[in-house]
């Protein structure tokens, strides 16, 4: 399979796509250069689980924007369907969907991004692509049709990525409520005897805490 036609993977540059959306035509990833963006697909408009997801994404949209992060949805529905559905959400749930939704009527975008997972099916799975300001794909999540996404986890991932980049650290499980280190962040394992001795001195000064030379953590 040619490199440019395979399903995108973590670490790849997000493929260049011109997409039709509820906000007009958009060029990806150019539209969000210098920002993080989250592209998330859903099986179809006017479905209960998808409606709860869009409502939840919108409720956190301001928080995403404060993290320099934009949202863009996607399904194989047409633009008029997106517009009518978001109108329904506004009228019935009193929440206006402010981010664009890709109308992938011919399925080309879904095919390029690997969003059709069942043979003979045309509906996109619930997928999430987290893309950084340099247009690199940092995370990909997939969910089945019957399970809605946890938006707080997606917010946590953005915060974790940004903290990791800023401080050169790793993020523990369930951060910032990890069962071992609490809200601390993890230092990369020492890679030399010199660095191990440096960590020992840092621990003596109270700058870091270590269970062993390969497992050190510190306050963020």
- Does residue 216 have an active-site annotation? no
50-70 b/e with 16+ CB inside 10 Å = b? bbebbebbbebbeebeebebb
Q: How far apart, in whole angstroms, are the C-alpha atoms of residue 32 and residue 133? A: 7
Exactly one of 19, 50, 109, 216 is catalytic; which is it?
50
Give the DSSP letter string of the chain: --GGGSPP-TTSBPPPEEEEEBTEEEEETGGGTTSEEEEEE-S-SS-HHHHHHHHHHHHTHHHHHHTTEEEEEEESS-HHHHHHHHHHHHHHH-----S-EEE-TTSHHHHHHT---STT--SPPEEEEEE-TTSBEEEEEEE-TTS---HHHHHHHHHHHHHHHHHT-B--TTTTSBTTTBT-EEPPPP-SHHHHHHHHHHHHTTS-EEEETTEEEE--
Q: How far apart, in whole angstroms, are the C-alpha atoms of residue 114 and residue 124? A: 9
Catalytic residues: 50
């Amino acid at each position: 399979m040619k490199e440019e036609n395979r399903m995108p993977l973590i670490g790849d540059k997000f493929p260049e796509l011109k997409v039709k959306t509820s906000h007009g035509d958009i060029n990806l990833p150019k539209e969000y250069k210098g920002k993080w963006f989250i592209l998330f697909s859903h099986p179809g408009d006017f479905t209960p689980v998808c409606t709860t997801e869009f409502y939840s994404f919108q409720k956190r949209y301001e928080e995403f924007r404060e993290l320099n992060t934009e949202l863009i949805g996607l399904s194989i529905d047409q633009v008029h369907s997106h517009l009518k559905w978001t109108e329904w959400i506004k009228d019935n749930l009193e929440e206006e969907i402010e981010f664009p939704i890709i109308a992938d009527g011919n399925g080309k975008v879904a095919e390029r991004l690997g969003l059709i997972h069942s043979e003979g099916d045309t509906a996109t799975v619930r997928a999430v692509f987290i893309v950084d300001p340099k247009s690199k794909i940092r995370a990909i999540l997939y969910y089945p049709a019957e399970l809605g996404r946890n938006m707080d986890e997606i917010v946590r991932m953005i915060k974790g990525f940004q903290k990791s980049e800023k401080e050169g650290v790793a993020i523990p499980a369930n951060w910032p409520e990890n069962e071992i280190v609490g809200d601390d962040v993890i230092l990369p394992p020492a890679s030399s005897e010199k660095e191990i001795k440096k960590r020992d001195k840092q621990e003596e000064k109270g700058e870091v805490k270590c269970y062993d030379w390969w497992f050190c953590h510190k306050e963020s």
